[in-house]
C-alpha cells in the first residue's frame, strides 16, 4: 500500500526517479545523518538503493549506514566496475549467512523493477549466487516472475535462465511446469523450451495433457535426474537436465541431482549396462521405464527379469508399454 511506503519510495513512484535523486542529493548536502536515516529506513527497496547508489557511494564512509546497506553499496560499486561477479568480490565468493539474507532481500524487493542493463546484470548475479552457492529454493518464485517479465519485454534472459537451473533441484522443474498451463502463449512457449518438452512429451499438443504427462515423467525420473552445464549462451535449444539411463535401468537412485558415475559395479551389472548401451534410444527408454515400474511393483520379479536375455527383457517391456496405451 502507498501509505506504507517510506519517503524515498513514495517520491520515486509518485514523482519519478529524477525527483527522487534530486531530493536525496539535496538532503545529503544539507544533513548526512538525515540522508543516512532515509536509506536505513526498513521500508526501502533495492531498486531505490540502486537508483541512489551514485549519490551514496562517494559519501558512504561519512554516512551512518546500517550493515546491510554498507555491504550492498560496496557490492554494487564492485559489480559496476567488474561484471565478472562473485569470482573477484570477497563478499560474494565466500558463504556467509548475512550476505545470503542481503541478496535475498535485494531480489525480493527488486524483482518487479524493470531496470537498465547494469541493474539486470546485478540482479542476475544475485540470483546465480543464491541458487548455485546457497541452494535457496525460496528465491525461485522471484526469478520466475522476472524471467517471464523480461521475456515479454524481449530483454535478455540467458544469464537468469542459467542461474535458475543452477539450483540443481527438481523443484525448479516442477515450478516451471506450472507455466505450461499459462494463458499467455509466450509464457507457455518459453516453459516448453526450458523444460525440453519436445523430448519429454513430443506428441502432446494440448497444454493440459502436456502438463500432466510432463509431471508424470518428472515424478518417474526424479531419482535419476541430473543437471547439465548446457545453457542458452552456447546452444539455441539446450538440454539443461537429463535422465541417467544407467542408474534408472539398474535402479540405483541418488540423493542429489549431479551426474555421478557409478563405480565398482559387480561384473553382472557391468554386463547389463554394456547390453543396454548397444541398443537404440527407443529400446533403452522402454527398458528403463519398465525397470522402474517393475522394481517399484515387485522387486523379486524385477530381479528375475534382469537375469533374462536382452530379447526377452525387451519383449516384456514393450508388452507392458502396449498395455498402458
d(CA 137, CA 109): 16
DSSP state of 181: G
d(CA 13, CA 261): 53
d(CA 95, CA 134): 8
Total domain count, the chain: 1
**Does residue 236 lie in a domain region?**
no
d(CA 249, CA 221): 11
pTM: predicted TM-score of the whole model, two decimal places:
0.91
- Find all residues with CB under 8 Å of 259, minimum gap 6, and list them: 226, 227, 228, 244
Three-state DSSP state, 252: coil
Beta bridge partners, 226, equal 242
Please check whether residue 188 is in contact with residue 234, taking contact to mean a CB–CB distance below 8 angstroms: no
**Does residue 89 lie in a domain region?**
no
**Does residue 180 lie in a domain region?**
no
- pLDDT tens track of the chain, all 325 residues? 456 889 999 999 999 999 999 999 999 999 999 999 999 999 999 999 999 999 999 999 999 999 999 999 999 999 988 755 555 688 898 899 999 999 999 999 999 999 999 999 999 999 999 999 999 999 999 999 999 999 999 999 999 999 999 999 999 999 999 999 999 999 999 999 999 998 898 888 888 999 999 999 999 999 999 999 888 877 778 889 999 999 999 999 887 899 888 989 999 999 999 999 999 999 999 999 999 999 999 999 999 999 999 999 999 999 987 755 4
Of 195, 168, 170, 193, give the one whose Cα is nearest residue 259.
168
**Does residue 301 lie in a domain region?**
yes
**Does residue 305 lie in a domain region?**
yes
pLDDT digits (tens, 9 = 90+) for 47-59: 999 999 999 999 9
**Does residue 279 lie in a domain region?**
yes
Please check whether residue 133 is in contact with residue 95, taking contact to mean a CB–CB distance below 8 angstroms: yes
Q: Three cell numbers at 3? A: 501509505
Domain that holds residue 284: 264-325
Residue 213 exposure: Cα atoms within 13 Å on the Cβ side? 18
Three-state DSSP state, 48: helix
**Does residue 145 lie in a domain region?**
no
**Does residue 85 lie in a domain region?**
no
pLDDT at 244: 96
pLDDT at 325: 47
Amino acid at each position: 500500500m502507498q501509505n506504507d511506503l517510506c519517503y524515498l519510495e513514495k517520491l520515486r513512484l509518485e514523482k519519478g526517479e529524477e525527483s527522487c535523486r534530486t531530493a536525496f542529493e539535496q538532503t545529503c548536502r544539507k544533513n548526512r545523518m538525515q540522508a543516512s536515516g532515509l536509506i536505513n529506513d526498513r521500508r526501502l527497496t533495492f531498486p531505490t538503493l540502486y537508483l541512489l547508489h551514485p549519490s551514496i557511494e562517494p559519501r558512504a564512509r561519512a554516512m551512518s549506514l546500517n550493515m546491510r546497506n554498507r555491504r550492498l553499496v560496496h557490492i554494487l560499486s564492485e559489480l559496476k566496475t567488474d561484471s565478472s561477479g562473485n569470482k573477484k568480490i570477497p563478499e560474494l565468493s565466500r558463504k556467509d549467512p548475512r550476505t545470503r539474507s542481503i541478496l535475498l532481500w535485494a531480489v525480493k524487493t527488486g524483482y518487479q523493477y524493470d531496470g537498465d542493463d547494469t541493474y539486470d546484470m546485478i540482479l542476475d548475479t544475485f540470483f546465480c549466487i543464491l541458487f548455485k552457492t546457497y541452494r535457496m529454493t525460496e528465491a525461485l518464485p522471484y526469478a520466475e516472475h522476472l524471467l517471464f517479465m523480461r521475456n515479454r519485454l524481449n530483454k535478455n534472459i540467458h544469464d537468469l535462465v542459467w542461474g535458475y537451473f543452477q539450483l540443481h533441484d527438481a523443484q525448479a522443474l516442477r515450478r516451471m511446469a506450472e507455466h505450461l498451463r499459462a494463458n499467455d502463449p509466450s509464457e507457455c512457449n518459453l516453459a516448453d523450451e526450458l523444460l525440453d518438452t519436445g523430448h519429454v512429451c513430443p506428441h502432446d499438443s494440448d497444454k493440459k495433457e502436456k502438463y500432466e504427462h510432463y509431471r508424470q515423467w518428472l515424478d518417474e525420473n526424479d531419482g535419476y535426474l541430473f543437471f547439465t552445464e548446457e545453457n542458452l549462451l552456447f546452444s539455441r535449444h539446450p538440454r539443461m537436465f537429463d535422465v541417467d539411463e544407467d542408474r534408472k535401468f539398474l535402479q540405483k537412485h541418488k540423493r542429489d541431482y549431479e551426474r555421478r558415475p557409478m563405480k565398482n559395479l559387480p561384473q553382472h551389472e557391468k554386463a547389463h549396462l554394456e547390453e543396454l548401451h548397444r541398443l537404440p534410444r527407443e529400446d533403452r527408454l522402454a527398458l528403463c521405464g519398465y525397470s522402474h515400474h517393475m522394481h517399484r511393483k515387485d522387486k523379486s520379479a524385477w530381479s528375475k527379469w534382469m537375469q533374462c536375455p536382452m530379447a526377452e527383457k525387451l519383449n516384456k517391456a514393450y508388452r507392458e508399454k502396449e498395455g498402458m496405451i
